[in-house]
Chains A and B, each alone.
Chain A
Amino acid sequence: TAGITQAPTSQILAAGRSMTLRCTQDMRHNAMYWYRQDLGLGLRLIHYSNTAGTTGKGEVPDGYSVSRANTDDFPLTLASAVPSQTSVYFCASSAVTSGGADTQYFGPGTRLTVL
């Protein structure tokens, strides 16, 4: 079972260029998330989606946008990359039960370097 896949695995991007990080899950989870992970800091939520067709802003949304056209895919777009967006990006998903969002499961990550 694939679970959650992310692409690309790594990327070097020139500042000012745009890029879309892809995330696909096959677990039929309603909720999906994008995090960035930087050395010495905890995972920080960029954007999330509780169900297809809806998205919300997390702790650090500036410079990023997302869409959720269907249950499986949750792409993250950087419209005009800046060096401070150099990070490891993780996509995650979870089921949503009557008690709220369940355990989150993570994709393998995308290592992005903006020069």
Chain B
Amino acid sequence: GQNIDQPTEMTATEGAIVQINCTYQTSGFNGLFWYQQHAGEAPTFLSYNVLDGLEEKGRFSSFLSRSKGYSYLLLKELQMKDSASYLCAVRDSNYQLIWGAGTKLIIKP
């Protein structure tokens, strides 16, 4: 079967760094996406990785290791507005997205 695993909830302090992990087992791999979803709102696109390595975009970075079926999202200089759920999704061999349940990130002052 296809499976995406990520922690249910994480807590971090404003100004700190947090790493949200995602492991996957899917039928085929055509890229991995990270989305941000604030409570009561739609998911919004954050990053995309298809090759191994780190993609940096401002305070957010995303890493991929295809051989390990592993990705992480790194958030630096945390702000209160970063409190949200972070969704990991893998595009499988049929080009459909398989979604993790999301990681709820709580930022404390």
Contact B99 A44 (CB under 8 A): yes
Q: How many A-B residue pairs have CB under 8 A?
A: 43
Looking at chain B, what size class is its interface with the partner chain?
Answer: 20 to 34
A1 sits at the interface (CB 8 A) = no
In the complex the two chains form, is A40's CB within 8 Å of B95's CB? no
How many Å lie between the Cα of A109 and that of B100 in the bound state? 18
Interface residues of chain A: helix, strand, loop or mixed (majority): loop
Interface residue range, chain A: 10 to 19
Instruction: Please determine whether A42 and B4 come into contact, CB atoms closer than 8 angstroms.
Output: yes
Quick one: which of B73-109 are within 8 Å of A by CB?
87, 89, 91, 95-102
29 contacting pairs across A/B (C-beta < 8 A): A41-B101, A42-B4, A42-B87, A42-B98, A42-B100, A42-B101, A42-B102, A43-B43, A43-B87, A43-B97, A45-B97, A90-B42, A99-B30, A100-B30, A100-B91, A100-B95, A101-B91, A101-B95, A103-B33, A103-B45, A103-B48, A104-B33, A104-B97, A105-B45, A106-B43, A106-B44, A108-B41, A108-B42, A109-B42
